[in-house]
Structure 1
Amino acid sequence: MNPRRKQRLTIALAALVLIGGAIGLMLYALNENIDLFYTPTEIIDGKNGQKPYVGQRLRIGGLVVPGSVSRDQESLAVIFKLIDTGPQVEVRFNGILPDLFREGQGIVATGTLTSPTTITADEVLAKHDEEYMPPELAEKLKGIKHVKPSEAEY
């Protein structure tokens, strides 16, 4: 092989290795920031044959189970249960809940799975519009009674 051709091959291989390394680092960084969306049933039974693992960051959406909200009198800690069509999942949150948060209301929480049925939430969002719901959640919640804000007790 002539020296010029060998030099070009070396440069091309070095460029491929650098580009491959850069792509690998980008994918690794993106993987750390991905929060997959689950429903309570998918957390218990798995989603596409895979259950989330303890310590995984995720988003969960469902309805707050009536009678399940427990507030600590000494702090801002709140514990409540979420349900879709099957099992319930407990959510623990320490902070100020949104004004629209109430029992029977649809919410989305972002946090970490701390046990197979418990999520420690960093953020809780209550849906704003009566008509909007993520398509995945709407499909799961067909047939479950939703408490409208006008019917909820304050």
Structure 2
Amino acid sequence: MKPRQRRIAIIGFGLLAFGLAAALVLNALRSNLVFFFSPSQVVANAAPRNGAFRIGGLVETGSVRRAGDGLTVRFVVTDLAQRVPVSYRGLLPDLFREGKGVVVAGRLQPDGSFEANQVLAKHDENYMPPEAAAALEQARQSHTAPTLEAPP
């Protein structure tokens, strides 16, 4: 094999190895990527029906219901415009409270409820994930937007 052919073969093998490594990394990232949606987006069918994603908003006051087993909890996540019922089996974070910010990860069920496998509560009064804060602000603006009446 001539030096030129050997160089071309080495470069080709390197490109093939790089392409394979890039494909494996992208596949791993795609399978572990979890998107964030607001309750309004979930109700509007903008969220995936068969994939995992996160919902963020506020725990609706008066919506927390605990089952007799001590581990199953049902509550409603709202962005003040729409509501999504959530069920979770496990221990809740210490900061989980009604009226406070929460992000839940899981899957949407055929009945429109959300089955969470992880619940994250905000850690202090001043912090909320940027996506959740933006979704709440957008919902507040659309929900409390002034209406103009036509003059008589």
Shared fold by TM > 0.5? yes
Q: Return the alpha-carbon distance in structure 1 between the equivalents of residues 47 and 110 of structure 2.
A: 10
Which residue in 1 is equivalent to 2:77? 82
Please give the TM-score of this superposition, normalised by the length of structure 2.
0.79
Alpha-carbon displacement from aligned partner over 1:53-102 (angstroms, at most 9, x marks no partner): 23312222111112222211134111111110422111110012122222
Alpha-carbon displacement from aligned partner over 1:120-139 (angstroms, at most 9, x marks no partner): 11121221211111222222
Which residue in 2 is equivalent to 1:42? 41
Which residue in 2 is equivalent to 1:31? 30
Question: Once structures 1 and 2 are overlaid, which stretch shifts more, 132-141 or 110-119?
Answer: 110-119
Does 2:127 correspond to 1:132? yes
Number of aligned residue pairs: give it: 139
Name the SS for the 2:14 alignment partner: helix
Could you say what the CA RMSD is over the residues aligned between the two structures, in angstroms? 2.2
Between Structure 1 and Structure 2, the one with more helix by share is 2
Name the SS for the 2:95 alignment partner: coil
Match of residue 100, structure 2, among 96, 105, 110? 105
Q: Return the alpha-carbon distance in structure 2 between the equivalents of residues 36 and 26 of structure 1.
A: 18
Kindly provide the amino acid, as one letter, of the partner of residue 55 in structure 2. Answer: I
Name the SS for the 1:63 alignment partner: strand
For structure 2, the residue ranges without an aligned partner over 5 or more in a row are 142-152
Kindly provide the amino acid, as one letter, of the partner of residue 110 in structure 2. Answer: S
Aligned-pair distance for 1:44?
Answer: 2.5
Match of residue 57, structure 1, among 34, 52, 76? 52
The list of structure 1 runs, each at least 4 consecutive aligned residues, that deviate by more than 3 angstroms after superposition, is none
For structure 1, the residue ranges without an aligned partner over 5 or more in a row are 145-154
